[in-house]
C-alpha cells in the first residue's frame, strides 16, 4: 500500500473515531469501528470487552513478539470547547476533534503500520496490534484485562503523542487520600485544634521535600496537592481535613518505597488508591532504543502516565501529536504529523524486523 493510501485510510478512520463518543469504559462503538476496519482489510481480530487485538498473518510461536498498542478511549470534553468535540474537521492542515491527538493519531498510525507488515514473510519478530480502552482512567477493563490473553510479549511500542520523540522512561503514579486530624471547638474561643493548620504543615512538606535519590532519566519525584476539603460550618473548628496528593514516581524508588517515605514524614493518615501504576524504563542498549537512535529519534523521560505502567516487559512510548495538547479544548493534530508517524513507525520496525 502506498503512503498516500495509508494516510487517506488513517484520516478516514480517525474521522469515524472522533465522531463517535468513546469516554473510558464506554468505548464499545469505537471498538467495533476498529474491528470492522481490520476485518474489512482481511485481518482476523479478537475482542474482549472493548479491546481489539490481532496478530500478523505469518505469526510463528517460535519467534519473539512485539506489541503495538494504543488506546481509543478519551477523557470527557473540556468545558472550554468552542467546537463540537465530535465533529471532525480539517482546517489549516489540522484535524480537530476529541481524541484526535490523544491518542487517535498514534492509534491510526499504528494500525496502518501493522497492516503494512501484516502479510510480509520472514520477519524476525511477530507483531501483535492491540487497540485498547480504559487507558485514561488506568482502569481494569483496558489492556490489563487482556495481557494474559495475548501471545507472549517481548517488547512494546506504545502509541501516544510524543512529537515523535522516543520516551525511554515514564513516571509512575500514586494518588494519595490524606486525612489530617485535629479537635473540634468553638471558633469564637481559643479552643480546639484546627485540622486545616495540621494539613497545611503536611501539604508544605509535600511541596518542598527532596528525595535523596534522583532519577537520571525522569528527574525528581513530583508531589502535588490537588484537592482539599474541611469544615462543616463557619463557627466550628474542624477536627479533620481531607486532601488529595498526586505523586509522580520515578525508577529509583518503587511505589511502595515512596509511599513508606511519605508515611514516615507526615502526620496525616495516608492511603494510596493503588500502587500498581509503576514507573518504567528501557535499557539504552535495547533493540527498540538502538533502532530509534539509528533514525535520529530524540530520547527523553516522560512525566505522563500511559499503559506502559501495566507492562512488565521493555517498552518505548512514541507517536505523532503533542502531549501538551492532550485533554485541552479544541484538541487537534496536524495531518502531516500522522503522515510522519506512519513513516516513522514503519522505518523503526523495518530496522528490527528485517
Q: What is the pLDDT of residues 35-52, one digit of tens each?
A: 999 999 999 999 999 999
The reported pLDDT for the residue numbered 190 is: 85
Residue the block writes with cell 507492562 = 311
pLDDT at residue 111 tops 90: yes
153 burial via Cβ count (<10 Å: 0-12, 13-18, 19+) = buried
82 burial via Cβ count (<10 Å: 0-12, 13-18, 19+) = exposed
- pLDDT band at 2, cuts 50/70/90? confident
Closest CA relative to residue 11, chosen from 95, 133, 98, 126: 95
The reported pLDDT for the residue numbered 149 is: 98
Query: pTM for this structure?
Result: 0.90
The reported pLDDT for the residue numbered 123 is: 97
pLDDT at residue 250 tops 80: yes
Pairing between β-strand 240-249 and β-strand 172-181 as defined by DSSP bridges = antiparallel
Tell me the per-residue pLDDT of 152-206, one tens digit each, with 9 for 90 and over.
999 999 999 999 999 999 999 999 999 999 999 999 998 899 999 999 999 999 9
User: Between these two residues, 124 and 2, which has the higher pLDDT value?
Assistant: 124
d(CA 161, CA 167): 10
DSSP string across 285-353? TSHHHHHHHHTT--EEEESS--GGGG--S-EEE--SS-GGGTT-TT-EEEHHHHHHHHHHHHHHHHHHH
Amino acid at each position: 500500500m502506498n503512503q498516500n493510501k495509508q494516510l487517506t485510510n488513517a484520516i478516514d478512520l480517525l474521522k469515524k473515531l472522533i465522531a463517535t463518543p468513546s469516554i473510558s469504559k464506554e468505548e464499545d462503538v469505537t471498538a467495533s469501528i476498529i474491528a470492522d476496519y481490520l476485518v474489512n482489510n482481511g485481518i482476523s481480530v479478537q475482542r474482549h470487552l472493548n479491546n481489539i487485538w490481532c496478530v500478523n498473518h505469518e505469526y510463528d510461536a517460535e519467534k519473539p513478539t512485539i506489541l503495538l498498542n494504543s488506546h481509543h478511549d478519551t477523557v470527557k470534553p473540556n468545558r472550554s470547547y468552542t467546537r463540537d468535540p465530535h465533529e471532525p474537521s480539517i482546517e489549516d492542515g489540522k484535524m480537530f476533534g476529541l481524541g484526535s491527538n490523544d491518542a487517535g493519531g498514534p492509534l491510526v498510525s499504528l494500525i496502518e503500520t501493522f497492516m503494512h507488515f501484516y502479510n510480509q514473510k520472514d520477519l524476525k519478530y511477530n507483531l501483535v496490534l492491540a487497540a485498547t480502552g480504559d487507558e485514561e482512567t488506568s482502569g481494569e477493563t483496558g489492556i490489563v484485562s487482556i495481557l494474559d490473553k495475548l501471545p507472549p510479549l517481548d517488547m512494546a511500542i506504545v502509541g501516544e503523542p510524543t512529537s515523535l520523540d522516543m520516551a525511554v522512561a515514564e513516571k509512575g503514579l500514586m494518588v494519595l487520600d490524606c486525612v489530617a486530624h485535629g479537635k473540634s471547638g468553638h471558633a469564637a474561643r481559643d479552643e480546639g485544634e484546627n485540622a486545616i493548620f495540621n494539613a497545611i504543615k503536611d501539604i508544605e512538606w509535600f511541596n518542598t521535600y527532596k528525595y535523596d535519590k534522583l532519577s537520571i532519566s525522569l528527574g525528581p519525584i513530583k508531589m502535588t496537592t490537588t484537592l482539599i476539603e474541611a469544615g462543616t460550618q463557619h463557627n466550628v473548628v474542624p477536627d479533620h481535613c481531607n486532601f488529595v496528593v498526586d505523586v509522580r514516581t520515578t525508577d529509583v524508588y518503587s511505589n511502595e518505597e515512596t509511599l513508606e517515605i511519605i508515611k514516615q514524614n507526615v502526620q496525616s493518615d495516608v492511603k494510596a488508591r493503588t500502587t500498581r501504576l509503576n514507573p518504567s524504563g528501557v535499557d539504552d542498549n535495547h533493540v527498540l532504543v538502538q533502532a530509534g537512535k539509528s533514525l535520529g529519534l530524540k530520547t527523553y523521560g516522560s512525566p505522563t502516565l500511559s499503559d506502559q505502567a501495566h507492562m512488565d516487559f521493555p517498552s518505548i512510548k512514541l507517536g505523532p501529536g503533542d502531549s501538551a495538547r492532550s485533554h485541552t479544548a479544541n484538541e487537534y493534530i496536524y495531518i502531516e504529523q500522522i503522515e510522519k508517524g506512519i513513516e516513522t513507525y514503519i522505518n523503526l520496525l523495518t530496522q528490527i524486523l528485517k
